[in-house]
Chain A
């Protein structure tokens, strides 16, 4: 779309370990036909423990491609807040860098290795439903990197590579600061969306939720990464065997077009919106949020409302930082 203004919103990338961060943050921007409203709020427990907000979000737009990321730094690691803000920023910039270079064609197809062909979904865990493992995908990317970027399936491999590069970047930041990668333990959820063709790539490791609200107001979970049955445990992009737990998926423009609203959130919000009673809380929550986010014309006001909401709503046993980015468009603004 001509004349679109690029932007960068969300938490700032840290340059030094002394960098401070805001307790609560709400920002917004427009990437036509989409609006982006994001907010992050320091949790009750973090206030109580005099600990900073460990969540972060970032969004960047280059006129065509929109990249959005959220992350939750592990409370058990003192530098994790820097991990979260570093990773969200670097994932976005790496995604835009890759899409800018790749001249993505207007469709996507399948990954192909030897005789094995998969559809667009690439699961991180080994051979579920006969689909490709991330290790196989990794081989493809590493062995035939250039061909992959110029060929098909870029969004899945671009997402994977952006995760890898963001992690390497964080490793360098850690080294510069004489820390280890593990000191920055953080989850990471990201999406990259072509605002013209509506093709989208998503990736997630660890807790949190990526959700879409379709035209029939069904809330659809977009990513299902491996998760632990222990709510205190999570998987982090900073851990050694991280690729085992990464989920990457590419979506066609047609698939994306059925949605008017997308939600990316850390577990501080996800834990309050996906567990009942009531049984259909996810749908109720997604519809309520969709209505509220569209209520006020001003994006700035909406970002402020979202920030205030995240900082103040009450749910029993909900003490964690809360971060939510909503990407939405008016329902008439669908590409065909």
Chain B
């Protein structure tokens, strides 16, 4: 047997920590919230929405794993669709800079526009793994909160989302809110499970608690069987959020 290479260092070898470089790439969990801020949300619903988003921020912030992985994208659609976070941003940035009082109810419900903004971001912002290159993102979690009465053309962008072959969308949850939920429309719009919630503050609160829990579960993603076409296992929705079969 040949000799081992000996350390030149005077430091006791037993105490020497290994110094090995690791990649700086991070695996992100993209979370999109598409929020209906149309005129029909004016009054108590928009106030409940603000409180809900605020609560979501606090709950994710309190989870050391989630806040390290989550990247947020907030799209509102009221009058005009707007990517208020200007793309996916680190949770810490969202936490520090996004002001929930900027959410205001006004105008019509351009869900189609919002879906196009989502598609642009999926194409532009979501990373796939490249060996020797970037670390790919977890599958995005997408929540759409709307009354189910879009006022623009939403069928085409929905179909574009359905037809994606790469960066596929498999975790999209649609939830009906507001005083006049159109359940049939909600079902038609949805890609994935559809729910409706009661029109009270407590339901908004529970909805955003559920979103936070889902984000926290997904950020602790565990290896799952198969090629990645199955939705992430999310916690069941709480009382006040009913599944629409």
Contact present for A288 and B20 (CB under 8 Å): yes
User: How far, in angstroms, from A312 to B19 measured CA to CA in the complex?
Assistant: 11
| Cβ-defined contact, A233 with B65, below 8 A | no
**Chain B proximity of A63: nearest CB distance (Å):** 15
Chain A count of residues within 8 A CB distance of the other chain: 65
**Contact check: which of B69, B166, B233 meets A76 at CB < 8 Å?**
B233
Looking at chain B's contact residues, the main secondary structure is loop
A27 to chain B, nearest CB (A): 16
- Cβ of A33 within 8 Å of any chain B Cβ, yes or no, is yes
**In the assembled complex, how far is the CB of residue B75 from the closest CB belonging to chain A, in whole angstroms?**
23
Within 8 Å by CB of B222, from A75, A236, A289, A330, lies: A75
Instruction: Please name all residues of chain A whose beta carbon is closer than 8 Å to the beta carbon of B3 when the two chains form the complex.
Output: 297, 330
What's the interface size class on B, roughly? 35 or more
Partner of B224, one of A234, A313, A332: A234
Asked whether B223 lies within 8 Å of A301 as measured between CB atoms, the reply is no
- Whether B223 contacts A234 by the Cβ 8 Å rule is yes
**Min CB–CB distance A79 → chain B (angstroms):** 14
CA distance A308 to B233 in the complex (A): 33
CA distance A301 to B15 in the complex (A): 9
- CB neighbours of B226 from chain A (8 A): 228, 233, 235, 239
Q: How far is the CB of A210 from chain B (nearest CB, A)?
A: 13
Contact with B along A176-203 (1 / 0, CB 8 A): 0000001001010000000000000000
Contact of B136 among A45, A231, A235 (CB under 8 A): A231
CB distance from B131 to the nearest CB of A (A): 5
The answer to whether residues A74 and B138 also contact, given A275-B133, A292-B20, A298-B13 and a CB cut-off of 8 A, is no
Which A residues have a C-beta under 8 Å from some C-beta of B? 30, 32-33, 44-45, 48-49, 72, 74-76, 182, 185, 187, 207, 221, 228-236, 239, 267, 271-282, 284-285, 288-289, 292, 294-298, 301, 304-306, 308-309, 312-313, 315-319, 330, 332-333
19 contacts between A and B (CB under 8 A): A44-B65, A74-B222, A230-B228, A233-B224, A235-B226, A235-B227, A239-B226, A271-B27, A272-B22, A275-B133, A275-B135, A281-B132, A282-B131, A308-B18, A313-B20, A315-B23, A317-B27, A317-B28, A319-B220
